[in-house]
Amino acid sequence: MLWLLLSCHMLMLLLAWLFLFKEKRFINYHLGMNVAMVPTGLFSLSAGLILLSLYPEAFIMITIITTCIGLATGIFFGSLIDKQGALMGFSSGIMSGIMAPMLGAMAADISPLLTFSTLLFLTGMTWLIFPTNRRA
């Protein structure tokens, strides 16, 4: 079940990237920073919690894997904008990749935290894909 959730997160992340790739000429610098940070932070948080709940005994390895996932996601989304966006995504990926397993390890029950992070991820991706101020 958790692997399916992680796969759905990755699919939604890919769809968001494809949408933003088509719309990248309309993304300015300020929106670009959000494009680099929001998917990176939310996906790293969710992936870290999912992987930690799947393999609770491999904390160090999960932290390394989640940090690498965050770095890749940050560079992936930040490079849509420019080098500064890629650097911002890179640093956001480091922070959220290291933070997610620590947050999951400190939680007594990871289920509510995983549910909350999934809702945050879905909300963030929805706002990123379907912004409220569409151009005419």
Tell me: the pLDDT tens digits for 76-95?
A: 999 888 888 899 999 999 99
Q: Per the domain annotation, does 21 fall within a domain?
A: no
In a domain, 120, yes or no: yes
Q: Which domain holds residue 112?
A: 2-14+29-129
pLDDT digits (tens, 9 = 90+) for 8-36: 999 989 988 888 888 878 777 778 888 88
Q: Across residues 32-54, what is the average pLDDT? A: 90
Question: Got the DSSP string for the chain?
Answer: -HHHHHHHHHHHHHHHHHHHHHTGGG--HHHHHHHHHHHHHHHHHHHHHHHHHH-TT-HHHHHHHHHHHHHHHHHHHHTTT-HHHHHHHHHHHHHHHHHHHHHHHH-S-HHHHHHHHHHHHHHHHHHHHS-SS---
Q: For residue range 98-123, what is the model confidence (pLDDT) as tens digits?
A: 999 999 888 888 889 999 999 999 99
Q: Is residue 80 part of a domain?
A: yes
% of the chain beyond a pLDDT of 70: 96
Q: Is residue 93 part of a domain?
A: yes
Whether 134 is covered by a domain: the verdict is: no
User: Is residue 22 situated within a structural domain?
Assistant: no
Domain count within the chain = 1
The verdict on residue 75 lying in a domain is yes
pLDDT of residue 22: 85
Contact 48, 97 (CB under 8 A): yes
The whole-number pLDDT of residue 133 equals: 58
Q: Does the global pTM surpass 0.75?
A: yes
Instruction: Decide if 135 is inside a domain.
Output: no
